[in-house]
Amino acid sequence: MMNLSNQPNTGGIMKKLFALLMVSVIMGTMFAGCSKNEPTKEQTDSVDNTTTTDGSSETETMTEVTNVTVWYYWEAEGHQKTLNKVIDDFNTLQKGVSVEAKYVPFTDFKKQLSIGASADELPDIVILDNPDHAAYASMGIFADITGEFDVSNYYAGPVNSATIDGKLYGVPFGSNCLALFYNDDMLQAAGVEVPTTWEELEAVAAATTTDNVYGLAFSSLQNEEGTFNFLPWVWSTGASSYEINSEGGIKALKFIKGLVDAGSMPVEAINWTQGDTKNQFISGNLAMMINGTWQVPSMRSDVPDMNWNVAMIPQDKEQASGLGGENFAVIAGGQEEASLEFLKYVTQPEVNLFMMNNMGYISPNMATADGQFGDDSVYQVFVDELEFAKSRGPLPEWPQVSDAISLAFNEVIVDISSPEVAAEKAQKTIDSIIGQ
């Protein structure tokens, strides 16, 4: 061995062994971060049925437990509890499949799904936002489950969001839509009736605006949430999502601008999520808001004494609302059979009803939805509105189209561009995306 220094060999064999040990430890820690990130494969009781990625699905024998992982993004505690209860019931009812749910925050959900897709690390079932369904289905990560479910009684909008080329790549979980929430006391104090048209809405918003209160607000973020809240105004004029630079599109932009200029709607709304908007409303800072069905359960528990109600969104030419809600999708190459078993359980009318009612959703099954809420007048408005709820897309490139749309209406609210200029810019982007 080389004598690396001019000094005598002190310390001897122990020192060398210790040095060797330290080197190994350091090398080991260097590679500690190398381990593949497997967020979904935490089960240790699975025998040999881990998710395969070579496109073949396992056929399981009933003596082995198949593990199924579900990803979802519901942050409301009530939603999570409901989902977990359903899963526990399913796991108890039969012993062949064991389901586990994992919460992935909404803002991270698409990212995780995309990363998971490219790294081949996906769960077995995802519960995802309906406008994103087409995009991921076109990536080829969802299994074709045409024929596995009877969706003939389902609302058309949700089913369409999961269909590509006539094939079904998922099954709707539940739907919701937007409506007009209003503070009854404030409207009465201002001596105005609930608005049904745009002109009336402008007047009521102005009348109910005071020093501390804005007449109307809705989430205007520059992302999917904002687009979701803005499009119903466009649709109400008769224009489609892809025709922003049209008479209708520009009219919608002008309408929003009018509300902001009059001081009835806060510019701050471009930073508010739908949750933030709801909080502003229940704090008494807003007379009216556009928001969704899923806010109802928490509003009822948070402000039981507040005198609020809902009405259909004031219209221009036609009644329009935004279709929200999630779909189930089965990951291709995952535990498809076991996943389908779980989904068949969950889509049964009783189980579905349980989830819908606890989470403030409307059943995608028209027959169930009809009697779902008994004579609860608030939910009934949403059921009525659901008939006019349009879906965004379905289009694989929807995120990009959505970005152009929310940018346009943000530019108008912040007063950077006039409605015409903003509309033209958005149209240019949209045309280049959908290839016209």
Q: How far is the CB of 67 from another protein (least distance, A)?
A: 23
Share of the chain residues as helix, strand and coil, in percent rounded to the nearest 5 = 50, 15, 35
Nearest CB to another protein, comparing residues 3 and 92 = 3
Which residue type sits at 217?
A
Q: How many helices (H) and strands (E) does the chain have?
A: 17, 11
Q: How far is the CB of 132 from another protein (least distance, A)?
A: 10
Q: What is the full DSSP assignment across 188-257? A: HHHT-PPP-BHHHHHHHHHHH--SS-EEEE----SSHHHHHHHHHHHHHTT--TT--SSHHHHHHHHHHH
User: Contact positions toward another protein, by CB under 8 A?
Assistant: 4, 27, 30, 110-111, 114, 117-118, 135, 138-141, 222-223, 266-268, 270-271, 396, 399-400, 403, 407, 410-411, 414, 416
Q: How far is the CB of 418 from another protein (least distance, A)?
A: 13
Nearest CB to another protein, comparing residues 336 and 411 = 411
Q: How far is the CB of 180 from another protein (least distance, A)?
A: 23
Q: How far is the CB of 400 from another protein (least distance, A)?
A: 6
* Phi-psi map region of 278: left, alpha, beta (phi>0 left; psi -120 to 50 alpha): alpha
Scanning 5-44, the segments in alpha helix (DSSP H) are 12-30
**Which residue from 170, 234, 156, 177 is spatially nearest to 402, judged by alpha carbons?**
234
Nearest CB to another protein, comparing residues 343 and 413 = 413
Nearest CB to another protein, comparing residues 136 and 328 = 136
Which residues, 6 or more positions from 187, have their beta carbon under 8 angstroms from its beta carbon? 193, 194, 204, 208, 287
Nearest CB to another protein, comparing residues 269 and 343 = 269
Q: What is the largest CA-CA distance in the chain?
A: 99
The answer to whether residues 406 and 227 touch, using CB atoms and an 8 Å cutoff, is: yes
Q: For the stretch 300-317, what's the b/e string if a residue is b when 16 or more beta carbons lie within 10 angstroms of its beta carbon? A: eeeeeeeebebebbbbbe
Q: How far is the CB of 116 from another protein (least distance, A)?
A: 11
Nearest CB to another protein, comparing residues 382 and 398 = 398
Q: Could you give phi then psi for residue 238, rounded to 5 degrees?
A: 100, -5
Cα angle 133-138-140, degrees, rounded to a multiple of 5: 105
Q: How far is the CB of 267 from another protein (least distance, A)?
A: 5
Nearest CB to another protein, comparing residues 141 and 253 = 141
Q: How far is the CB of 164 from another protein (least distance, A)?
A: 13
Nearest CB to another protein, comparing residues 194 and 270 = 270
